[in-house]
Structure 1
């Protein structure tokens, strides 16, 4: 029997002054009350009650035990109330990991709107394009783009992310606009360091992989914004999400090419450890950003 139940039974018996009245109060049997008190006495190695045929009286040890038991049970009640409040109210610190470029270009505005709607939630945001360990790094949630491998983590789709192969108008004027991936010049490829060629079987990715094996790419970087800025300087072509390249394409600084060969769209997911034990602060965060970005995000409209 757990110690909290033993203490609760002891306190009721002490307050009622009778095992029989304590049994009626707790809707149980007189024998079970006596058994629980005996277990507590054995555990503490003291006698808590002096018993008569009709009444029970606290011993000196029992009086001391009653003071401690009341304090313990009050602390337990306070703990349950506080934890229940955290579960039902959106408050506390939310630890979030997110990709660098997506955060600087789009998530910052979403976070500002989120905190206006939920002022009692403080966000600790860590930006990193590597795959972080949500559990080991003490995170509540990680935003990840791509095709997720199966794991014990829970993943909820936030939005769709399209990819685009882009080059500047000046680059295309100088070298021509390719109509097939085989026409790409591998020495002009601006490669994202974390690209995974094995997750998609598109003809374009096969060509990029084959080209990279023949000739080193012009530039490899772990930041898509840097690669996109280099491409705008007429220095090569880049494969990046439209949330990075979209504005440059709209302004005419880049041109999307080989649209029929671009890999299939990927997704942005919120990845977190538990399905049942989700805090309210995390639940409202996921719901908010899902509604904010929607399945077709604003940068693709």
Structure 2
């Protein structure tokens, strides 16, 4: 029995949810998939899957084996893809999904530089703050910002994303500068619709969560640029990533508030589906974007 093939069969059953679906994905018969998994369990002398007529589920041992098997297969596929791509220039259309504000401010130069290195790659960049389904919607790559939870997708961290609370000098002069998080209750807050306030963050998040649930007359939007512009105009306090707000802070249009209570950084991630062989155009883009924005990112320069 080929160990790698057996490992692939087992992982496919787990991801696809059944032996028949795994067989379709691997383009082999369900009987062969079942044989691979059974032989794998015999060799390991442990049950990896609980089987019923309706579904399969992982045993405790299967859960541990699945995690390691994914890593091993990913390394094998990456090695094969890199070796296979040594003599191939990447080409074709690369479909990318990216957050609106980040893409508008920081992706035009990235895509331009990438295509200077790989002129045979056509880039189709779609902007959407919604969490797209990469596979179902036909994307090769998605850029996501946040703290990613476990999933079947592969995620690679590209850069840290700082989140700062700020307001215009005129607003702070008129309404006062908050000294402690509890002072936020007396201020107007410009709320970003997509930001997650799960109660597990620091004091700033807790106060803004409470205020957002009780306050009337505040301003809410699903676009951070609009909120930053409103804050510059004196509308209130805004909590936004530095890749949006840093230019206004550097120019003095916004002042950072409660810097000693700054949230832990989030991350900018490049996310892609787990595939048997990673297309060369995808691998080249992942390698290209790694380190492209700097460490720390250039938008954080001169931001205290």
Could you give the per-residue CA deviations for residues 13-53 of structure 1, whole angstroms, max 9, x where no partner exists? xxxxxxxxxxxxxxxxxxxxxxxxxxxxxxxxxxxxxxxxx
Deviation at 1:262, TM superposition (A): 2.0
Structure 2 counterpart of 1:232: 232
In structure 2, do the counterparts of structure 1 residues 275 and 159 end up closer, same or farther at CA, with 3 Å as the change threshold?
farther
Gaps of 5+ in 2: 1-83
Give the secondary-structure state (helix, strand or coil) at the position aligned to 2:133.
coil
Give the secondary-structure state (helix, strand or coil) at the position aligned to 1:159.
strand
1:242 aligns with 2:264: no
Note if contact 2:191-2:212 (Cα within 8 Å) is conserved in structure 1.
no
Deviation at 1:289, TM superposition (A): 1.3
Aligned residue pairs total 218
In structure 2, do the counterparts of structure 1 residues 228 and 113 end up closer, same or farther at CA, with 3 Å as the change threshold?
same
Give the secondary-structure state (helix, strand or coil) at the position aligned to 1:166.
strand
Deviation at 1:181, TM superposition (A): 1.3
CA distance in 2, matches of 1:200, 1:247: 29
Structure 1 counterpart of 2:262: 262
Instruction: Give the stretch that moved more between structures: 193-202 or 154-163.
Output: 193-202
CA distance in 2, matches of 1:217, 1:207: 17
Note if contact 1:180-1:258 (Cα within 8 Å) is conserved in structure 2.
yes
In structure 2, do the counterparts of structure 1 residues 126 and 174 end up closer, same or farther at CA, with 3 Å as the change threshold?
same
Could you give the per-residue CA deviations for residues 108-132 of structure 1, whole angstroms, max 9, x where no partner exists? 1111111111111000111001111
Matches for 1:53-64 after TM superposition, within 5 Å: none
CA distance in 2, matches of 1:99, 1:116: 23
Gaps of 5+ in 1: 1-83
Note if contact 2:167-2:257 (Cα within 8 Å) is conserved in structure 1.
yes
In structure 2, do the counterparts of structure 1 residues 85 and 300 end up closer, same or farther at CA, with 3 Å as the change threshold?
closer
1:280 aligns with 2:302: no
Structure 1 counterpart of 2:58: none
Coordinate RMSD, CA, aligned? 1.8
TM-score, normalising length: structure 1: 0.69
Note if contact 1:189-1:217 (Cα within 8 Å) is conserved in structure 2.
no
Structure 2 counterpart of 1:223: 223
- TM superposition outliers: structure 1 runs of 4+ over 6 Å: 84-87
Could you give the per-residue CA deviations for residues 60-103 of structure 1, whole angstroms, max 9, x where no partner exists? xxxxxxxxxxxxxxxxxxxxxxxx77993211100000000000
CA distance in 2, matches of 1:145, 1:153: 15
Larger CA Rg, structure 1 vs 2:
1
TM-score, normalising length: structure 2: 0.69
In structure 2, do the counterparts of structure 1 residues 199 and 291 end up closer, same or farther at CA, with 3 Å as the change threshold?
farther
Structure 2 counterpart of 1:159: 159
Could you give the per-residue CA deviations for residues 163-190 of structure 1, whole angstroms, max 9, x where no partner exists? 1101000000001110111111466100
Could you give the per-residue CA deviations for residues 130-176 of structure 1, whole angstroms, max 9, x where no partner exists? 11111110100100000111100000011111011010000000011
Give the secondary-structure state (helix, strand or coil) at the position aligned to 2:166.
strand
